[in-house]
Amino acid sequence: MKLPSTYKLKDIAAIINCEFDGSPDHVVTGLNEIHMVEPGDIVFVDHPKYYDKALKSKATTVIINKKVECPEGKALIISDDPFRDYNLLVRHFYPVNYSTKQIADTAKVGEGTILMPGVYLGNNVTIGKNCVIHPNVVIYDDCHIGNNVIIHANTVIGADGFYYKKRPHMFDKMISCGRVIIEDDVEIGSVCAIDKGVSGDTIIGAGTKMDNHVQIAHDAHLGKMCLVAAHVAIAGVVVVEDGCTFWGQSGVRSDVHLAKGTVVLAQAGIGGDTEEGKSYFGSPASESRTKMRELAALKRLPDLLRKLDSEENS
């Protein structure tokens, strides 16, 4: 999330009433989670396990719950609860502004696009030319839809990311302030859910096609010309390169990278990065030919054990 203008460290710290370590005039230009940070961004860290990752990240301002040595060229904001204060900053710069109209005044719809009954468009939604948006589709604030896009009935674009911090007696929600960007010539089936980024963008590449009941989580990036069958779930911050195929009921865990042309066979569970052009099967998934050989060998195991017992007893 980019801030509306450039801010100084002293001003950011004052918003959340925290001490800081660094030049008061240190520049802040954005807020981002650790997976998405760029120079100028603020990131938060509240567990010693992740201190090093945050301090060495591209972020140049870190909200942290312990006084540590400040890396050169960076600044620290010392907070007793970095998660809470990061959320306070997000809400300060991204205030609640719900549209209660079916089509928000700031929504823009391109020439030749058809909106069927029951479609909801939130604030600052843009839809390109020659799209078909079927009944009861919901498109939340700030989402951008390209040209020649088809979205089938009851799909939701831009709901909040599923991101919570566990407290002793509750789950504390991370406020999502990102977007969904759907490029040209995409088709999305009915009853799908594509969540907006927590702080960046969830992106569906041009020409990609999705079946019904597909879940794409926050900050995932799907490449161009991908095929996604029914009941597929892709977790947050996953990067899928061009030309990948996902067959029914397959899933991908968070923060992995699927190389170009990866094929994920039905009910496979991807738990790590893949290699270009290879197929994957099983849960946890591995290269499909290897997995098939393992299963074939497993079927022979009872016979091999009986043979071994017979040899030992003879």
Residues annotated catalytic, as ranges: 218
Nearest-10 Cα torsion for 36, 37, 41, 45 = 100
Check residue 257 and report its DSSP letter.
E
Structure tokens at 210: 């999705």
Check residue 50 and report its DSSP letter.
G
Q: Decide the pairing of beta strands 75-78 and 19-21.
A: antiparallel
Query: Between vectors from CA 254 to CA 258 and to CA 163, what angle results, nearest 5°?
Result: 150
Q: How far apart are CA 77 and CA 55, in angstroms?
A: 12
Contacts of 100 (CB under 8 A, 6+ apart): none
Check residue 175 and report its DSSP letter.
P
Q: How many residues appear in the chain? A: 314
Which helix (H) or strand (E) covers residue 258, if one does? strand 257-258
Q: How far apart are CA 58 and CA 121, in angstroms?
A: 35
Q: How far apart are CA 158 and CA 201, in angstroms?
A: 10
